[in-house]
Amino acid sequence: MKRIITYGTFDMLHYGHINLLKRAKSLGDYLVVALSTDEFNWESKSKKTYFSYEKRKQLLESIRYVDLVIPEKSWNQKISDMSLYQIDTFVIGDDWKGQFDFIANETNTEVIYLTRTPEISTTQIKKDLNDKNLVKKNSSVLNSNLIDK
Ligand code: C2G
């Protein structure tokens, strides 16, 4: 059984994330996702996520490509993760190209960088939601119906 791992925040899950997870799983039989904890995001990535770790984990676990979700608590856990989870291949988007070559140098794990899905990102979603008026104003009846109960 070929075991794959990838790492990320996966906040506000979108089709770019799904494309990555789908392609990662297609490289093997079992996909582990190391999901950045809220503390790691804030302390090490200066990211404040919209969804908590538990909610992001729940979403990832509902994806057919994902077999196991583990916490990513530190930049330094990758080498030990490769042996702990008996990983054959490490996969991540090519926005990280070259950053994790050390894994291949220090372990028997293959490192693959997959092309990012263009245009979409959690940052872009947040920006669009702020900039665009996605609900027509001055139609109180419509608005009241549209507002999530
Ligand atoms: N991704 C993608 N296409 C996008 C957006 C994201 O392929 N349009 C990929 C990223 O390249 C990454 C994964 O989806 O492989 C998760 O993206 P993020 O949640 O932004 O993860 P990141 O902040 O890059 O954290 O230790 C590694 C880090 O935890 C990676």
pLDDT digits (tens, 9 = 90+) for 8-32: 999 999 999 999 999 999 999 999 9
Per the domain annotation, does 147 fall within a domain? no
What confidence tens digit (pLDDT) does each residue in 44-59 have? 999 999 999 999 999 9
* Range of the structural domain that residue 83 is part of: 3-118
Any ligand 1 atom below 6 A from CB of 49: no
Per the domain annotation, does 134 fall within a domain? no
Interatomic CA distance for residues 15 and 1, integer angstroms? 27
- Tell me the CA–centroid distance for residue 139 and ligand 1, in Å: 39
At 144 the pLDDT is 63
Q: What is the pTM of this model?
A: 0.91
Contacts for 101-109: CB closer than 8 Å, 24+ residues apart: 103/78, 103/79, 106/79, 107/79, 107/82, 107/83, 109/82
Our answer to whether residue 45 is catalytic in this structure is yes
CATH number of the domain that 11 lies in? 3.40.50.620
Q: How many domains does the chain have?
A: 1
- Tell me the CA–centroid distance for residue 28 and ligand 1, in Å: 19
Per the domain annotation, does 31 fall within a domain? yes
At 136 the pLDDT is 66
Per the domain annotation, does 132 fall within a domain? no
Per the domain annotation, does 127 fall within a domain? no
Closest CA to 49 of 126, 133, 119, 127: 126
Per the domain annotation, does 54 fall within a domain? yes
Our answer to whether residue 47 is catalytic in this structure is yes
Per the domain annotation, does 109 fall within a domain? yes
Any ligand 1 atom below 6 A from CB of 7: yes
- Tell me the CA–centroid distance for residue 25 and ligand 1, in Å: 15
Residue nearest to atom 30 of ligand 1 (CA): 8
Per the domain annotation, does 123 fall within a domain? no
